[in-house]
Amino acid sequence: MIRIPKFSKENKIKVRRKTLFIWIAVVVVTLILYLAKRDLFDISFLKEYVGDHKLLVISLYLIILTFIGLTFIPSTPFAIAGVLLFPPMEAYIINLAGIITSSIVVYYFTQYLRIDLWLESKYPVQIEKIKKALRKKELPIIAGWSFFPVVPTDLIIYVGSTLNIPFWKCALGIIIGEGTLNALYIFSIDFFI
């Protein structure tokens, strides 16, 4: 039997810092390359394909956004991809629709799919901290959490569902937080393209 070593808290912090540094470095290098060599980023063929198959591309894009929530992967890369595929306002609306449908799936199906057991056993301390904060101020915590790009929004939706916070309140918080964050991403990226 192979044993996987457990990381100490100090090692986890180092890994997180390195990950953040790598993420920032990738973004900076990509921006520099884009400004220096725009021809490397020519996606006219992709936009032409989207124009010819718009309904199919939007449908696939929404399906991906809807079910990505069950993986707890942040939707930021998809918001950026949306700007490359669609006009900015359309990308914004499609992303918001995907975020809402993803939130519906997470809110209603994480317990049904037993993902809750895995989350509760893997992160008991963190989940309890989130629950404690949500018991005090539901909407501001959900909106603030949703605006913070490093943490998965779907986690706050899951915890909200376990506390029986009404879905409309979770959705409103998501629209405020993720809606603002996506507007910043989409319209600022469109400005530079």
Q: What confidence tens digit (pLDDT) does each residue in 167-191 have?
A: 999 999 999 999 998 888 888 876 6
Domain ranges of the chain: 7-41, 43-192
Three-state helix/strand/coil letters over 157-180: HHHHHHCCCCHHHHHHHHHHHHHH
Question: pTM of this prediction?
Answer: 0.70
Across 41-45, 68-72, 81-85, 135-139, the highest mean pLDDT is recorded for 135-139
Identity (one letter) of the amino acid at 185?
Y
Buried/exposed code over 9-28 (b: 16+ C-beta within 10 A; e: otherwise)? eeeeeeeeeeeeeeeeeeee
- For tokens 């949500």, name the residue: 134
Distance CA 107, CA 158 (A): 5
